[in-house]
Structure 1
C-alpha cells in the first residue's frame, strides 16, 4: 500500500470516529475521547506527511534510475557506434597497410633482361683447304632474365635465368634453360659483401666490365674454357681505399653454374684489382679440381690458373677509349692423374673508340696455346673487328668480322672439329631492360 492510500484511510477513520459521538451526550469522558481523537488525527497527519516525503524520495529515486538507465543505453549505443567506427578504421588501415607493403615490395624488386643475338654467314676449311662448313642464319647466343630484391639495407637476393644453345658434338640441338645466379647477399660494409649460392666469379665478369663487348664475343678464358663466369659456393667481395682497390674471393664446387654437385674438395678463385685515373689493373688466380673430384670418378690433377689484366678506360680528347690486354697461364687444366702434366698459355689484346656519339669501332686479337706440353703445335689465333651503332642505351647493333686460324686440328673457341680456318661475317646485337 502506498503512503497516499494509507493517509486517505487514516483520515476517513478519524472522521467516522468524530461523527459517532452525539453532541448532547458530551461529558468529561467525551472530552477525553475527543482529545485522543485529535491527537490521533495529528499523528496520522504526521504519518501522512512522512509517507508523502517517502513517496517523493521514491519517485525521485525511480526518476534517477530511469535517467541512469537511459544514459546507460545511450552510452552503450555510443560505444557500439564507436566500436563499429574503430573496426571500419582498422579494416581500412589494414587494407592501406597491405597496399603499402605490396608497393614497398614492388619498389624493392627489379626485373631485368638481356639478349645477345646475331645473323651471320660462316665459312670454314680444314687443314687440306677443303670447305667443311658454309652456312648461316639467326642465332640466339644468350638470353638472361633476372630478378633482384632488396629485403633491407643489409640483405638482398638475386635469381638470374640463362637460356643458351645446347651443344651436342658440335651441333646445336636446341636451347637449354639454366639457373645462372641464385644467391642471398649480405652487405655488411662497403669493405665486405657476402653472397651464398651461385654468383659471379671473381675474374671473367670483372674483365667483361672493362672489355665492354661481351655481346659480340666472350673474353679469353671464357671463350677457350679456362674459366667460368658463375659457380655455386660462397663469395666474398668488397671495396677498399675509397673504391680504388677492389677484391673478390670465391670458394666453389668448381663445375660451373650449370652443374652443381657434391665434391670432395673445394676450389678457390680470387682477384685483386685497382682503378685510378682511367687505368685498371688486376691479378687473379684459381686452384682446385674443377668439380672432377666426385666419389667413384677417375682422379684428376689439381688445376691452377694465373690471370693478369692491364687496361685504360676513359676519355681522350672527349672520346671514350678502351685499350687493354689480358694474359693467363694454366697448369693441368682438366688433366687426368694418370696423364702427363700439361700447361696452357694465352693472351688477348682489345681496343675500342667512340669518335662520334652513338658510334664506335672496336677490335681484338687473341693467341692461345692450350697444350704446350702434350701438343705444342696446337694453337689458335683469333681476331675480330667491327663497327657498332647504339641508338639507345639499351640497344646495340654491330657489323662484325671474325676469323680463327688454328694449327694441328685444334677444337677450341668457335672452331668445330676438323676446322682449321673459320671466317664469319654477321650483324650482332643486344638489348637490355
Structure 2
C-alpha cells in the first residue's frame, strides 16, 4: 500500500511539474501538439504494467519482512519470559533461605579450665592422706566443663523453638558426655505470659546464675554437687549431689516486666529427674519463683520446690515429699555486683537413698529423714576497664537421722577468690583459687579438703 501511494505521488508530481513547466513557457516557444499513435500508447501501457508489477513485488517483500520482524519480536519475548522464570524461582528460593537464616540463630557457650587440684582425706584420728575420690582428682588437667550448642528458630511473632546440647569433658576422669539440655517449643503471648513445652530452664538456678555472673567459675550453691550424704561412716561420691536441677522436662510458664518496680515469675511442672533423665512417675513435681526489682539494678526473689523427684513409681517403697525453699537478694550494675542466696531443703536425700533396697525398709524407713540449710554470699568489682576482682563463700549444713533416730550433721564450706579479664566481649578468663572442706559427723568424723588453683574461662558466640 505504501508503495502504491509512493508511485501515485511520483506520477502526480511528474505530471504537475511538466504541466507547470509547459505553462511557464511562452506560447511562441511551446512545442507543437504531438500526436501519439496506437503503437506508442500500447508500449507505454506495457511499461506502466511492468512498473505496477515491480511495485506489487516490492510491497509483498515489505509485508513479508514486517511479518518476520513480528515473529522475531515474539520469539525474543518468549526467550526473555523463559529466562525470567528460573530467575524468579531462584529469587523465591533465596528469599525463603534468607527468611530461614534471619529467623534462626546458632550460638554456643563453652566453660573451660586448666588447673591443679590437691585433695586429701582424714578419717577419725588417722593422718591426712592425698587420695582421689569424692568428686576430686589430684593433679593437673584441662577440662571442658560445659559446651552448650544452641539453635533458636522463630516461626512468627508468637511461636519459636530452642535446642541446646550439653557436652562436657574432664581430662582427669577421662569422661566425655553429651546430653540434650534444652529442647522446647515456646509461645510468647505477652511479656507477662510465655509458655514452654519440653526441657527448659527451671525457675531458680538459671535465674540466680544471671545475677551471680561467674557461673563459668563455679555452679551456684543449689547446683554445686555436695559429696556428703548419709552413706555410713564416710561420704561417698553418690552423696546428695546438687539440691536442684537447672533444666527439666515439663511445662513452664514465665513472664517479666522491665525497668524500676518490675516483676518476674516462673512456674514449672516437671518430671523431677532433671534434663538427663526423661522418665515417668505417678506424680509430677513443681517449682516456682517470684522476683521484684524496686530498681533495675536490684532484685529480691523467693522460690520453692515440691515433689517426689521422679521416684513415685509403681511397687516402690513410699517416700516423703522432697521440698526446697529459696531466697535471694542481689545487686548488679556496670561496676559492682553483690548478692546473698539461702535455701532450706527437707527429704531431698531420703527419696534417693531408700527405695526398698537398703536399710530403712518397712517400719524403720519411717524414722529416716534429712534436711539441709545453706547460704552463699558473693561480690565482684570491675576496678579497671576489663578487669574485675571477685570472691564467694558458701556454707551448707546437712542433717539426717539414723535408723535409731540419732541426728548426724555434715558441714560443707566452700570459697573462691580471683581476678577476671574480659579479653573480648565474648571471651572471659579468670585466675582463681578454690577451697572446699567437708566435715563428717562427730561419731565417725571425717574431713575432706580440696584446694585448686588455675585459669577458668568462658567463650560464647
TM-score bracket relative to the smaller structure: 0.7 to 0.9
Pick from 310, 315, 327 the counterpart of residue 342 of structure 2. 327
Residues 358 and 166 (structure 1 numbering): CA distance in 2 closer, same or farther, change over 3 Å?
closer
Q: Take 1:313 and 1:140, find their aligned partners in 2: how far apart are those partners?
A: 28
Q: Take 2:202 and 2:72, find their aligned partners in 1: how far apart are those partners?
A: 69
Q: How far apart are residue 350 of structure 1 and its match?
A: 0.6
Is residue 284 of structure 1 aligned with residue 303 of structure 2? yes
Q: Take 1:150 and 1:241, find their aligned partners in 2: how far apart are those partners?
A: 22
What does the per-residue CA deviation read over 1:37-85, in whole Å, with 9 as the maximum and x for residues that have no partner?
xxxxxxxxxxxxxxxxxxxxxxxxxxxxxx9xx9999989877765554
Pick from 147, 151, 171 the counterpart of residue 155 of structure 2. 151
Match of 1:256 in 2: 274
Greater gyration radius? 1
Is residue 115 of structure 1 aligned with residue 110 of structure 2? yes
Is residue 423 of structure 1 aligned with residue 451 of structure 2? yes
User: 2:223 aligns to what SS in structure 1?
Assistant: helix
Match of 2:91 in 1: 96
What does the per-residue CA deviation read over 1:154-177, in whole Å, with 9 as the maximum and x for residues that have no partner?
11111111112489xxx8341111
Does the aligned pair in 2 maintain the 1:196–1:234 contact within 8 Å? yes
Does the aligned pair in 2 maintain the 1:301–1:334 contact within 8 Å? no
Q: Which moved more, 1:290-299 or 1:263-272?
A: 290-299
Does the aligned pair in 2 maintain the 1:263–1:293 contact within 8 Å? yes
Q: Which moved more, 1:89-98 or 1:211-220?
A: 89-98
Q: How far apart are residue 100 of structure 1 and its match?
A: 1.1
Is residue 366 of structure 1 aligned with residue 383 of structure 2? no
Match of 2:436 in 1: 404
Q: Take 1:382 and 1:325, find their aligned partners in 2: how far apart are those partners?
A: 14
Residues 166 and 265 (structure 1 numbering): CA distance in 2 closer, same or farther, change over 3 Å?
farther
Does the aligned pair in 2 maintain the 1:323–1:350 contact within 8 Å? yes
Q: Within 5 A, what are the aligned runs for 1:44-83?
A: none
Match of 1:389 in 2: 421
Does the aligned pair in 2 maintain the 1:300–1:334 contact within 8 Å? no
Q: Take 1:359 and 1:328, find their aligned partners in 2: how far apart are those partners?
A: 31
What does the per-residue CA deviation read over 1:387-427, in whole Å, with 9 as the maximum and x for residues that have no partner?
111121111111111111211179xxxxxxx7611111111
Q: Within 5 A, what are the aligned runs for 1:151-170?
A: 151-165=155-169
Match of 2:325 in 1: 306
Residues 126 and 240 (structure 1 numbering): CA distance in 2 closer, same or farther, change over 3 Å?
same
Match of 1:63 in 2: none
Q: Take 1:86 and 1:295, find their aligned partners in 2: how far apart are those partners?
A: 70
User: 1:172 aligns to what SS in structure 2?
Assistant: coil
- Using structure 1 for the length normalisation, give the TM-score: 0.75
Pick from 384, 388, 402 the counterpart of residue 356 of structure 1. 384
Is residue 202 of structure 1 aligned with residue 220 of structure 2? no
Q: How far apart are residue 377 of structure 1 and its match?
A: 2.6
What does the per-residue CA deviation read over 1:328-362, in whole Å, with 9 as the maximum and x for residues that have no partner?
00111131473522211100011111111111000
Q: How far apart are residue 279 of structure 1 and its match?
A: 1.5
Q: Take 2:387 and 2:170, find their aligned partners in 1: how far apart are those partners?
A: 33
Q: Take 2:313 and 2:107, find their aligned partners in 1: how far apart are those partners?
A: 36
Q: Take 1:287 and 1:300, find their aligned partners in 2: how far apart are those partners?
A: 13
Q: Take 2:423 and 2:331, find their aligned partners in 1: how far apart are those partners?
A: 25
Q: How far apart are residue 280 of structure 1 and its match?
A: 1.1
What does the per-residue CA deviation read over 1:143-191, in whole Å, with 9 as the maximum and x for residues that have no partner?
1111111111111111111112489xxx834111100011111111111
Q: Take 2:140 and 2:258, find their aligned partners in 1: how far apart are those partners?
A: 50
Does the aligned pair in 1 maintain the 2:145–2:170 contact within 8 Å? no
Q: Take 2:253 and 2:71, find their aligned partners in 1: how far apart are those partners?
A: 64
Does the aligned pair in 2 maintain the 1:322–1:353 contact within 8 Å? yes
Match of 1:219 in 2: 220
Residue-pair matches, total: 354
Match of 1:130 in 2: 129
Is residue 236 of structure 1 aligned with residue 253 of structure 2? yes
Q: Take 1:192 and 1:71, find their aligned partners in 2: how far apart are those partners?
A: 72
- Structure 2, gaps ≥5 residues long: 1-62, 133-137, 226-241, 355-364
RMSD: 2.7
Does the aligned pair in 2 maintain the 1:290–1:334 contact within 8 Å? no
Residues 77 and 284 (structure 1 numbering): CA distance in 2 closer, same or farther, change over 3 Å?
same
Does the aligned pair in 1 maintain the 2:428–2:459 contact within 8 Å? yes
- Structure 1, gaps ≥5 residues long: 1-66, 411-417
Residues 370 and 166 (structure 1 numbering): CA distance in 2 closer, same or farther, change over 3 Å?
farther
